[in-house]
Amino acid sequence: MAAMLPPFSVPVYEPLPYALSGLTFLDLPIRTQLYLTDAKLVPPHTRGVNSIEDERSRISIALFRCLTGTDIALVNMRHEAVAMARYLAEDTSPRAHWHAEAQETRLKEVLGVLLPERKLHFKEYMIKFDALVWLDQQGRENYTLEDWQRHRDALLKPILDHTSHALVALDESVTRRTAANGYAN
């Protein structure tokens, strides 16, 4: 009987707490200022709430696109590791052992690149996302830091959930395709 594929442990991104509340434009981190300037969203000439929402959608779509390649590579590495484990279960020769060690070294090297790359995509996204939350604050003086943290978290949760679900769906798709091609799961 074929072994089942082990559960997929999705790398979870935990953003830092929101830290831009109450800052003036000149107090913002330089990368945030540059983003707002390049996106032509510098107050008081911000294009309006709808354009902030449009920009939030634009950067979210860009994040999903950036993560696609990284996620495909992560899923492929996972499936290669599972295939290697199955191969070793069937072949215990010294050659198979050497091959497995080489594969494990390669897996660690690739994961050592892919996971930080994925995290970097999120960090870059958060600079822009938090800048847009900062724009939401303009002209709203009655809100506390906790209010803005909740606002940011409420806007961010669906995005982070979507990235995790997309990675799991990709893994499930590869698992189904592998099973359809006659490989055991």
Confirm whether 166 is domain-assigned. Answer: yes
Global pTM value:
0.83
Domain limits for position 52? 29-39+48-79+117-138+145-175
DSSP conformation class of 45: S
How many domains, in total, are found in the chain?
1
pLDDT one-digit tens code per residue, 75-88: 998 888 777 777 77
Four-CA torsion 12, 38, 53, 57, nearest 10 degrees = -50
Confirm whether 129 is domain-assigned. Answer: yes
Confirm whether 127 is domain-assigned. Answer: yes
Confirm whether 161 is domain-assigned. Answer: yes
Confirm whether 20 is domain-assigned. Answer: no
CA-wise closest residue to 71 among 172, 176, 157: 172
Confirm whether 130 is domain-assigned. Answer: yes
pLDDT one-digit tens code per residue, 32-57: 999 999 988 887 666 655 688 999 99
pLDDT one-digit tens code per residue, 90-137: 777 888 778 777 777 877 888 889 999 999 999 999 999 999 999 998
DSSP conformation class of 21: T
